[in-house]
Chain A
């Protein structure tokens, strides 16, 4: 990575900044900061009814904040010259992220320990640890967390499928472009559309093509059915019975419903991992395979000794990003099962979404979300540490 001392790009400029400019820069920052503070103070007094300006919203504060941020950027150039221009590359993005993440997170912490029903006129009341106690006794939240573990574990299967497909795409095949585009398409579809197209339409129990196909496989033997198709049919029917698919519904029983959600999510996101792995595969030099062929290695050994170890860094990146995306899983669940049956398919996000929709209690939902964030941060840190250790060369 980058060396700690010295810039990669050396710029030598004569920075003679006049005192006037420096003063102007300082004046801009502090002046706008004072305006911002003054606006905030006025608005705070206004909302607490010490003053009567009757401002409808907090918009003026927002404008004052934006003005302050702008002045901060300008003053960087004014007071620090060439160095300020460099800071200007990162500063807008940093200010944007800080104001959009850090501030709402702090605000969220305040909300999390209060009882705040948006539809009630009382407004926010601080209620200490009541929300924590409620969370502790909320079986649905723990259930949703448990579901998230299941949803995350399934990524291993997704990864295996994606790896297989990437290897196939990387081999000598014709019409590669067609296959690549076709495999990529599911990623383009919006989860909402997917949940309708597949979840509601194709899995429709009376005439959806998938249920018809399964019924046809499991149907009674008929003369025109070739034996080749018939025997697997019986087998699949037995398998379905064994898994509990006796009730003719895909979202009736907990296990099947969860599997279906997993399958749909996998369907949309397998292309994502596949493309990343494919890029990694194409970066492996051919000479390695040629050398191993000379040494008489079989295909399977080539995979074990060359492909898989060399792909480990890419794989870990792909899986980690996939986990991050998986933790956001909600759209499909909200739209198909809305958590049912009995919370079996709930993800944390969809649960909080419903919690807000049904009770419009902002405080409790925020607490759940923040606990979720803490769990994620801890888990991801451990995962990344483990991955780092695992990725270090063993020899």
Chain B
């Protein structure tokens, strides 16, 4: 009884072959692009463990082409031997890192706070400021996106100089908040308009004030959206911002990107320490990307799909 009763017809088998080549094609493109995305990061990590001859020979695979050394990390004061002892470079690095962290986190929190309130108000009430109605106010906020930073840079330089805000973290925080605010409002407006107003109506009937309803009922529901907006603003604009930081800070409030950029120019080329520094600068965001990937995608998707 070896006769199969049900079997694929000739055309179906051809289909399977073409399906298979299609798979191979899709996966090879995906793998190629993944390689393109990941190789520079891999290259930076490995270079930070190389010695001069390894760099010159362009060795790529650790333990096969070359033996990893802590050279790059030692020059940052972050290798196992030097982590215990005093190191001025590490002090400097940690100071810049701390500056970056404070500036980006504070400005993102501020932007999410201001932006959420504004987005909530715009999604619930009708305002009239002179000739401006709701859609005009929304447009006013969103149009700030178009404003290129260079337009504000030089006036702010002069203003901050006379306000004594040059080279302070507060000055940077205010500017970063401004650049992030439109994106936050965009994302949060989408979030709030998807929450039904019946929730607040019920809360108001139960005797909460409008701000009470906002903080106790709506904010917990919109929290994922707020986290998404926060992460996105952290990732997209504030942590990596270079232009304003390079113009407005000099010694005290210098952030990490400015430190990385200034190292490339002055120190000649010590590849391993630059690689270590670059990698240390991008590491926090790589970790965030891997752990909180769905929030980032949620944030970006919020604006795209209406």
Q: Is the CB of B127 within 8 A of A87?
A: yes
A349–B148 Cα distance when bound, in Å, is 8
Q: Is the CB of B178 within 8 A of A97?
A: yes
Q: Would you call A392 an interface residue if the criterion is a C-beta within 8 Å of the partner chain's C-beta atoms?
A: no
Residue of A nearest to B134 (CB): A2
Q: Is the CB of A11 within 8 A of B210?
A: yes
Q: Is the CB of A101 within 8 A of B147?
A: yes
Give min CB distance, B108 to chain A, whole Å. 15
Stretch at the interface among B8-16, B66-74, B77-85, B271-279: B271-279
For A283, the chain B residues whose CB sits under 8 A away are 305
Q: Is the CB of A183 within 8 A of B121?
A: no
Q: Is the CB of A92 within 8 A of B178?
A: no
Q: Would you call B209 an interface residue if the criterion is a C-beta within 8 Å of the partner chain's C-beta atoms?
A: yes
Contact flag A85-B261 (CB < 8 Å), given A93-B115, A370-B151:
no
Q: Is the CB of B125 within 8 A of A192?
A: no
Q: Is the CB of A93 within 8 A of B114?
A: yes
Q: Would you call B174 an interface residue if the criterion is a C-beta within 8 Å of the partner chain's C-beta atoms?
A: yes
Q: Is the CB of B125 within 8 A of A93?
A: no
Taken residue by residue from 269 to 306, chain B's Cβ proximity to chain A (1 for < 8 Å, 0 otherwise) reads as 10100110010011001101110010011001101111
A58–B276 Cα distance when bound, in Å, is 42
Q: Is the CB of A180 within 8 A of B148?
A: no
**What total of A-B pairs shows CB separation below 8 Å?**
314
Partner of A376, one of B56, B148, B154: B148
Residue of A nearest to B242 (CB): A331
Q: Would you call A206 an interface residue if the criterion is a C-beta within 8 Å of the partner chain's C-beta atoms?
A: yes
Partner of A7, one of B44, B124, B185: B124
A277–B157 Cα distance when bound, in Å, is 38
Partner of B40, one of A93, A104, A197: A197
A180–B33 Cα distance when bound, in Å, is 11
Q: Is the CB of B304 within 8 A of A173?
A: no
Give min CB distance, A318 to chain B, whole Å. 6
Taken residue by residue from 346 to 380, chain A's Cβ proximity to chain B (1 for < 8 Å, 0 otherwise) reads as 00110011001000001001100110110011001
Q: Is the CB of B201 within 8 A of A9?
A: yes
Residue of A nearest to B184 (CB): A93
Q: Is the CB of A1 within 8 A of B155?
A: no
Q: Is the CB of A349 within 8 A of B271?
A: no
Quick one: which of A184-217 are within 8 Å of B by CB? 184-198, 200-202, 206-209, 212
Stretch at the interface among B23-31, B86-94, B219-227: B23-31
Q: Is the CB of A191 within 8 A of B242?
A: yes
Contact flag A314-B278 (CB < 8 Å), given A90-B127, A353-B243:
no
Partner of B163, one of A59, A194, A366: A59
Residue of B nearest to A338 (CB): B265
Quick one: which of A154-203 are within 8 Å of B by CB? 164-165, 168-169, 171, 173, 177-198, 200-202
For B297, the chain A residues whose CB sits under 8 A away are 180, 184, 275, 278-279
A177–B291 Cα distance when bound, in Å, is 11
Residue of A nearest to B200 (CB): A9
Q: Would you call A120 an interface residue if the criterion is a C-beta within 8 Å of the partner chain's C-beta atoms?
A: no
Stretch at the interface among A32-40, A222-230, A236-244, A322-330: A322-330
Quick one: which of B141-167 are within 8 Å of A by CB? 141, 144-159, 161-164
Q: Is the CB of A275 within 8 A of B123?
A: no
Q: Would you call A335 an interface residue if the criterion is a C-beta within 8 Å of the partner chain's C-beta atoms?
A: yes
Q: Would you call A6 an interface residue if the criterion is a C-beta within 8 Å of the partner chain's C-beta atoms?
A: yes
Q: Is the CB of A185 within 8 A of B38?
A: yes
Residue of B nearest to A47 (CB): B162
Residue of A nearest to B300 (CB): A275
Q: Is the CB of B123 within 8 A of A8?
A: yes
Q: Would you call B105 an interface residue if the criterion is a C-beta within 8 Å of the partner chain's C-beta atoms?
A: no
Partner of A100, one of B37, B157, B174: B174
A82–B301 Cα distance when bound, in Å, is 35
Taken residue by residue from 168 to 199, chain B's Cβ proximity to chain A (1 for < 8 Å, 0 otherwise) reads as 00000011011001000100000000000100
Quick one: which of A77-108 are within 8 Å of B by CB? 82, 85-90, 92-94, 96-97, 100-101, 104-105, 107-108
Q: Is the CB of B181 within 8 A of A279?
A: no
A202–B275 Cα distance when bound, in Å, is 11
Q: Would you call A302 an interface residue if the criterion is a C-beta within 8 Å of the partner chain's C-beta atoms?
A: no
Q: Would you call B122 an interface residue if the criterion is a C-beta within 8 Å of the partner chain's C-beta atoms?
A: yes
Give min CB distance, A58 to chain B, whole Å. 5
A123–B116 Cα distance when bound, in Å, is 42
What are 29 A-B pairs at a CB distance below 8 A? A7-B126, A9-B200, A57-B163, A58-B164, A86-B125, A92-B118, A93-B185, A97-B181, A118-B157, A180-B297, A181-B293, A182-B37, A183-B34, A188-B286, A193-B257, A193-B282, A201-B274, A275-B297, A275-B301, A275-B304, A318-B304, A335-B264, A349-B149, A349-B150, A353-B246, A366-B154, A369-B154, A373-B147, A376-B148
Residues on A lying within 8 angstroms of B by beta carbon are 1-2, 4-11, 56-59, 62, 82, 85-90, 92-94, 96-97, 100-101, 104-105, 107-108, 111, 116, 118, 164-165, 168-169, 171, 173, 177-198, 200-202, 206-209, 212, 267, 271-272, 275-280, 283, 313-314, 317-318, 321, 324, 327-328, 330-331, 334-335, 348-349, 352-353, 356, 362, 365-366, 369-370, 372-373, 376-377, 380
Residues on B lying within 8 angstroms of A by beta carbon are 26-27, 29-30, 33-34, 36-41, 43-44, 47, 55-58, 60, 114-115, 117-118, 120-127, 129, 133-135, 137, 140-141, 144-159, 161-164, 174-175, 177-178, 181, 185, 197, 200-201, 204, 209-211, 214, 235-236, 239-240, 242-243, 246-247, 256-258, 260-261, 264, 269, 271, 274-275, 278, 281-282, 285-286, 288-290, 293, 296-297, 300-301, 303-306
